[in-house]
C-alpha cells in the first residue's frame, strides 16, 4: 500500500506470471510522475482486475484499475489510495497491516518487511 500514490500499479512481470494475455489490456490515459526518480513514467496500458481481501467466511471484493508498467519494482503491485477508498481500508504503515470493517468482522491483512525484498 502506498498512501501517497493516486493510482494502482501492476508490473508487467506480475501480469505475465498471472498468465493474463496482453490482449486484455486497455489504452492508458496519460503518463504519471514521481514513480521513477526525476522522470515521467508511461504506463504500457491499463487493466481492470478483481481484488479480494479476507477469507471464505468474511471477504470483500472490488474491481480495481491498474496501470501496467514495464519497469521493474520491488513488489508485484502497488495499491494506492484508490484501493483504500474502494475497500474503505485503514492502513497502518508502522505495523504493515491493512484493516477493513465488514459485516462479519474486521478483515486484517498483514505482511513483513522481508516480503518486500524476496
Q: What percent of the chain has pLDDT over 90?
A: 29
The domain segmentation of the chain, as residue ranges, is 8-87
Model confidence at 114, pLDDT cuts 50, 70, 90, reads low
Query: Residue 61's pLDDT is what?
Result: 92
Backbone angles phi, psi at 101, to 5 degrees: -85, 125
- Give the list of residues 6+ apart from residue 37 with CB closer than 8 angstroms, or none: none
pLDDT beyond 70 at 2: no
Q: Give the model confidence (pLDDT) of 32-74 as tens digits.
A: 765 665 666 777 889 999 999 998 889 999 999 998 988 777 7
Query: Quick one: DSSP state of residue 13?
Result: H
Cα(9)–Cα(97) distance, integer angstroms: 19
Amino acid at each position: 500500500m502506498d498512501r501517497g500514490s493516486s493510482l494502482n500499479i501492476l508490473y508487467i512481470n506480475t501480469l505475465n506470471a498471472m498468465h493474463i494475455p496482453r490482449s486484455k489490456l486497455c489504452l492508458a490515459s496519460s503518463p504519471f510522475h514521481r514513480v521513477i526518480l526525476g522522470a515521467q513514467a508511461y504506463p504500457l496500458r491499463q487493466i481492470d482486475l478483481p481484488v479480494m481481501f479476507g477469507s471464505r467466511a468474511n471477504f470483500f471484493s472490488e474491481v480495481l484499475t491498474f496501470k501496467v508498467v514495464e519497469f521493474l519494482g520491488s513488489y508485484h503491485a502497488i495499491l494506492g489510495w484508490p484501493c483504500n477508498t474502494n475497500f474503505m481500508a485503514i492502513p497502518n504503515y508502522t505495523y504493515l497491516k491493512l484493516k477493513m470493517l465488514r459485516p462479519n468482522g474486521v478483515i486484517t491483512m498483514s505482511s513483513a518487511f522481508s516480503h518486500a525484498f524476496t
